[in-house]
Amino acid sequence: MNRLAVIFGWMFFLLSSCAGDDEFVIDGQVTHAERIQTVVLYEGERKLDSVFLDEHGRFKFRRTAAHPRLLTLEAGRSRYHLILQNGDRVSFQADLTAPVDSYNVAGSQLSDKIKQFAATFAERERLQQELEESFADQAAGLGDTALMSLRQHFLQRYRQQMMDYTEAAVRFANEHDDLAGFYAMTTLDTELAENELIAYADRIGGRWEDNARVRQFREEMARLKRLAIGQPAPEFQSLTPNNQPVKLSDFRGKYTLVDFWASWCVPCREENPNIVTQYNLYKDKGFTVLGVSLDGNPGSWLRAIKDDGLVWTQVSDLQQWGSDVVGLYRIQAIPTSYLVDPDGIILAKNLRGPDLAAFLEKTFN
């Protein structure tokens, strides 16, 4: 082989083995993979790519990212978070028998920063799984009343854990005023960390506009802000079982629990006795309920109203999840509720069981 051919051969090798500015490369290895044959790359819940492991547990990804993207590398039951962009050449090693936060990553500054949060995130995941398993064990064979009490107990434990986790995520974001801090904030529960998330969205306004994930986050927070505590409850109109139109503004002058439910929703039906109790306690003190059903079958809806003793105003357009009010109030699951004050301002959200009782007692007594 002549000298010119050797030179061109080396040039080709170098060009093909280095990450260009139009892609990122992950050179990885997992040990103790046992029967695992592939490693998968996700963005959120969307699967981007998967590759086979060689006999030494090595793998390689080549992808493009015009702006930094939060990606998740999944190997078996272990998940690792990376923040990658074009030009990054990342070395990744993990032992699948070791704690999930003990992996090694090099070649991406943001990935190295998000690794500092990995232990906090992994602990949240562990505690959440522990709660779910414990609840399932204790719930077996319980009656409806005992089951609802147990659910409230575990919900309180979950909320406490999420309060601690929220504080840790906010602290990390304050210490890392970059996309690593941003991605830590996006792991928060929007229902339990609404104020923190809205405040963070306001704080980063105008930054990282070329990042689609950031734009989506800020748009989502803008929608969430319109339904935040202290904001006017959006007006809507629907029909009673007798086809009489009713508007939310008809309830001005009273504290109104806007309760989104359905006859087929078991947790809704389990909560109904508590709402009946609270309604009877405070109906003469300026409290009422507006039930908004996501039913599609009028017969089932009417039977549930009668069987559960729901004597307050009930409305539904019988469009189930296709109802306009679902989008207006960002309803992703039921039961969902908004407590609105006499001026139509949102006071609280998703108060159930003893939380609703305590709030109303404080408000009226």
pLDDT tens column, 161-201: 889 999 999 999 999 999 999 989 999 988 889 999 999 99
* Residue ranges of the chain that CATH labels 2.60.40.1120: 19-113
Q: Looking at residue 119, what is its pLDDT?
A: 86
Q: Looking at residue 155, what is its pLDDT?
A: 81
Q: What's the number of CA atoms in the CB half-sphere (13 Å) around residue 103?
A: 31
- Looking at domain 19-113, its CATH superfamily turns out to be Carboxypeptidase-like, regulatory domain (2.60.40.1120)
CA distance 256 to 68: 45
Q: Looking at residue 20, what is its pLDDT?
A: 56
Q: Looking at residue 56, what is its pLDDT?
A: 93
Q: Looking at residue 311, what is its pLDDT?
A: 97
| Per-residue pLDDT tens over the stretch 210-261 | 787 888 899 999 988 999 999 999 999 999 999 999 999 999 999 999 999 9
Residue environment code for 151-171, b if the CB has 16+ CB neighbours within 10 A, otherwise e: bbebeeebeebbeebbebbbe
Q: Looking at residue 121, what is its pLDDT?
A: 86
Q: Looking at residue 15, what is its pLDDT?
A: 39
| Per-residue pLDDT tens over the stretch 310-348 | 999 999 999 999 999 999 998 989 999 999 999 999 999
- DSSP β-bridge partners for residue 60: 27
Report the mean per-residue pLDDT for the chain: 89
Q: Looking at residue 269, what is its pLDDT?
A: 94
3-state class percentages of the chain: helix first, strand second, coil last, to nearest 5: 45, 25, 30
pLDDT tier at 67, thresholds 50, 70, 90: confident
For 237-364, CATH number out of 3.40.30.10, 3.10.620.30, 3.30.2310.20, 1.10.3720.10 equals 3.40.30.10
pTM above 0.85, yes or no: no
The rounded percent of the chain whose pLDDT value lies above 90 is 64
* Residue ranges of the chain that CATH labels 3.40.30.10: 237-364
Q: Which residues, other chains included, contact 188 with Cβ-Cβ below 8 Å and sequence gap of 6+?
A: 162, 165, 166, 169, 196, 197
| Per-residue pLDDT tens over the stretch 1-39 | 444 443 434 343 333 344 457 899 999 999 998 889 999
Whose tokens are 């007594």? That residue is 365
| Per-residue pLDDT tens over the stretch 92-140 | 999 999 988 889 999 999 999 999 898 898 888 888 888 889 988 888 8
pLDDT tier at 264, thresholds 50, 70, 90: very high
Query: Which pair of tokens denotes residue 211?
Result: 């990042």
CA distance 265 to 257: 18
CA distance 292 to 341: 17
| Per-residue pLDDT tens over the stretch 73-84 | 999 989 999 999
CA distance 293 to 319: 9
